[in-house]
């Protein structure tokens, strides 16, 4: 089956961020045989436009970039690029959209023109935003956009989503405390930046506010020796909330905590928040049309994950789906793999959206 072959080829050549020469070369070789306009709106991106002479357009997006993970699957088509792996299913997303292109190519009539967006840098700095900034959605009169993510733990081959918030607003957070380094024999003359950082970590975990949020730190660095006070320590973490208002209130609370710890310890504290991604929020009216014409399973809750598909949703109505892959290893793990049969199911569903929405 061609879609499985596409997946095998793409899985073997994982690439990072916006540097995707082999991936783009393969896509161009496949799309060039189809009746579509192929173009690149931004670095590392490629689009295919199918013109059915209609007044508007619907769009579909696939992310293409991989992760800096050493694969441990032993698959015959495993990564040929050491230390880089498609551990988040983006190769599957891309294979689905490429198959959708072939199926659209066989159609003489569709109710809308169709734009397929193959996007870089979902795992890094948000490749979706650069595509939006290029004006592609306006140029091609896109009135709705759809995307999907392969999802372990959900029933295999079934589509899931919900109206409203599906994934969280997210950003990275870096906490830095600067103190004064002295030998521990003279500790009273120094300022312990590592202690200040640990105090921040402990108290940030205890913040209790009246809205749901997720704040965790995964890395700490500081110090040069066990008997020398640390003069500079850093924490790296991630902050998530389901609304922009909650997210801003959390940032305010954390800045206040940093100030309080600086006053308590004498160390100079600084917080830095990355821009991050908006919340993935499915348009309610578009979701209702999907449920009427191409029903998906209703999710009862949102997830703490994040995805830059949300940038498209700030421009046009959009719905993001989760395609279940059953009992598979978790995303972002070196063992991640899935039953390839779900790929054809994904292409089937997207084609149904093309015909019915």
CB-CB contact of 179 with 231 (8 Å): yes
Is 91 noted as a catalytic residue in this protein? no
DSSP 202-244: HHHHT---SS-EEEEEEEEEE-S-TTB--SEEEEEEEEEESSH
The CA angle 210-216-219, to the nearest 5 degrees, is: 160
DSSP 134-154: TTHHHHTTEEEEEEEEEETTS
Alpha-carbon distance values, 243 to 86, 158, 266, 280, 308 (Å): 30, 28, 34, 10, 15
CB-CB contact of 76 with 62 (8 Å): no
CA-to-CA distance for 45 and 27, rounded, in angstroms?
11
149 phi and psi, to 5 degrees?
Answer: -140, 130
Alpha-carbon distance values, 216 to 205, 328, 331 (Å): 8, 25, 18
CB-CB contact of 113 with 56 (8 Å): yes
Q: Which of 165, 173, 205 is nearest to 303 (CA)?
A: 165
Angle between helices 21-31 and 2-12 (to 10 degrees): 160
Q: Give 298's strand partners.
A: 161
Within 13 Å and on the Cβ side, how many CA atoms surround 132? 14
The one catalytic residue in 6, 15, 123, 307 is 123
CA-to-CA distance for 241 and 245, rounded, in angstroms?
9
Question: CB 68: neighbour CB atoms within 10 A?
Answer: 12
The one catalytic residue in 6, 63, 99, 129 is 63
Is 355 noted as a catalytic residue in this protein? no
Catalogue the active-site residues: 63, 123
């Amino acid at each position: 089956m061609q879609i499985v072959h596409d997946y095998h080829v793409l899985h073997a050549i994982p690439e990072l961020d916006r540097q995707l020469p082999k991936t783009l070369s393969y896509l161009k070789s496949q799309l060039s045989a189809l009746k579509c306009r192929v173009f690149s709106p931004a670095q590392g991106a490629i689009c295919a436009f199918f013109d059915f002479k209609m007044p508007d357009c619907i769009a579909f997006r696939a992310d293409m970039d991989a992760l800096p993970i050493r694969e441990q699957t032993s698959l015959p088509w495993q990564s040929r690029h050491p230390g880089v792996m498609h551990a988040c299913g983006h190769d599957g997303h891309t294979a689905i959209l490429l198959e959708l292109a072939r199926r659209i190519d066989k159609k003489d009539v569709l109710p809308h023109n169709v734009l397929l967006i193959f996007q870089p840098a979902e795992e890094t700095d948000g490749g979706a935003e650069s595509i939006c900034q290029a004006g592609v959605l306006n140029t091609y009169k896109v009135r709705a956009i759809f995307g999907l993510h392969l999802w372990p733990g959900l029933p295999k081959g079934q589509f899931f989503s919900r109206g409203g918030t599906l994934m969280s607003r997210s950003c990275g957070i870096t906490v830095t405390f600067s103190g004064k380094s002295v030998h521990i024999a003279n500790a009273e003359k120094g300022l312990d930046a590592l202690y200040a950082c640990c105090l921040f970590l402990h108290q940030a975990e205890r913040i209790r506010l009246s809205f749901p949020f997720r704040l965790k730190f995964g890395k700490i660095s500081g110090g040069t020796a066990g008997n020398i006070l640390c003069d500079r320590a850093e924490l790296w973490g991630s902050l998530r909330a389901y609304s922009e208002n909650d997210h801003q209130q959390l940032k305010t609370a954390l800045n206040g905590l940093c100030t309080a710890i600086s006053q308590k310890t004498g160390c100079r504290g600084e917080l830095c928040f990355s821009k991050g991604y908006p919340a993935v929020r499915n348009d309610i009216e578009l979701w209702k049309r999907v449920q009427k014409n191409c029903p998906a399973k209703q999710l009862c809750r949102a997830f703490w994950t994040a995805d830059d598909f949300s940038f498209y949703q700030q421009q046009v109505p959009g719905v993001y789906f989760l395609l279940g892959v059953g009992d598979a290893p978790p995303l972002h793990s070196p063992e991640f793999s899935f039953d390839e049969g779900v790929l054809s199911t994904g292409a089937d569903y997207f084609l149904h959206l093309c015909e019915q929405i």
